[in-house]
Structure 1
Amino acid sequence: MLTDMTHAQAAALWSGLMILLLVVLGARVAMARRGNRVVLGDGGNAQVLLASRVFGNAAEYIPAGIGALAVLAMLGMPAYVLHILGAALFFGRLIHAVTLSDTRPTVGRVIGMSLTWLSLLLAGLMLIVHAFVGSAHG
């Protein structure tokens, strides 16, 4: 199924999954605020602060990844490349979000950030190379 996707479909899949992740993380902030009767900000509540940072951290990286996937798809980057980049970013953000809930340093946070940075670094380099070289697949 994934192997039959066009480059645009691959970018759409991973972008959609990352948007859904943002919605889930945003809902967790809303539930934490409601449960702790916090109207604005974190109200000095550790649970609300943590939920807000988990969401905020994802929101800091996901838009750049979605933008990179979209431009790479428009440039005709092969679907398998978009799947690799999209999966690395999505799972990096997911792993980081899950493990950030533990306030101690964890290997999951390192893995999550490493996947995130690696996917964004590769996407950025591919975009720059394409700007100077031309065709992404030929």
Structure 2
Amino acid sequence: MDTLASGHAAALWVGLHVLLLLTLSLLVVRLRQKHKVALGDEGIPELARAIRAFGNASEYVPVGLAAIIVLALVGAPPLAIHVVGLVLFAGRLIHAVGLSNSGGASIPRAIGMICTWVAYIFGAVALLFYAIG
């Protein structure tokens, strides 16, 4: 397989996920400045949701990126890397939007988590295929 093409595919998704995390971080900073809050959320629901949207992405994105990077290293087809990257990115974006709009259960949050798990499962199966095969 073309490891260079796999590396380019991985670079695309790592770069997009870094920008997603940066955007979510900037949203927290903007709300902290708006509400003059240095630490925590001081009971401001909008800020609490932004903090959790960033935190949740920070918890799930690194594992997905690790899968993407290792898939590239073992020379997985770029399509496999794009599938993991796209589904993970869509899931994290949809989840962040859903969480930012509502602290309770919501369809976007559920869809975001399902997409994240699908990306994890696809990535894990692909990694095991390359490890065993």
Q: Does 1:92 align with 2:110?
A: no
TM-score by length of 1: 0.88
What SS class does the counterpart of residue 101 from structure 2 fall into? coil
Give 4+ residue runs of structure 1 displaced > 3 Å after superposition.
none
Correspondence 1:47-126 to 2 at 5 A: 47-103=46-102, 104-126=104-126
Q: Which moved more, 1:19-28 or 1:41-50?
A: 41-50
Shift of 1:108: 1.7
| Bigger helix share | 2
The runs of 5 or more residues in structure 2 that have no matched partner are none
Map 1:22-61 onto structure 2 (within 5 A).
Answer: 22-61=21-60
CA distance in 2, matches of 1:128, 1:45: 44
Distance 1:62 1:28 in 2: 17
Q: So what's the TM-score if we normalise by structure 2?
A: 0.91
Q: In the aligned structure 2, how far is the partner of 1:108 from the partner of 1:45?
A: 22
- 1:6 match: secondary structure: helix
Give the aligned residue type for 1:119. A
Tell me how far 1:47 sits from its aligned partner. 1.7
Aligned partners of 2:46 and 2:100 also within 8 Å: no
* Residues matched between the structures, number: 129
1:56-110 deviation digits (Å, cap 9, x = unpaired): 0111111111111000000000001111110000011111111112324322222
CA RMSD of aligned residues (A): 1.3
For 1:132, the equivalent position in structure 2 comes to: 132
Q: Does structure 1 retain, via aligned residues, the 8 Å contact 2:21–2:58?
A: yes
SS in 2 for 1:101: helix
Q: Which residue number corresponds to residue 136 of structure 1?
A: none
Distance 2:115 2:31 in 1: 28
Say which SS state the counterpart of residue 117 (structure 2) adopts.
helix
Give the Cα separation in 2 of the matches to 1:81 and 1:128. Answer: 13
8 A contact 2:94–2:112 mirrored in 1: yes
Cα distance in 2, alignment partners of residues 39 and 57 from structure 1: 20
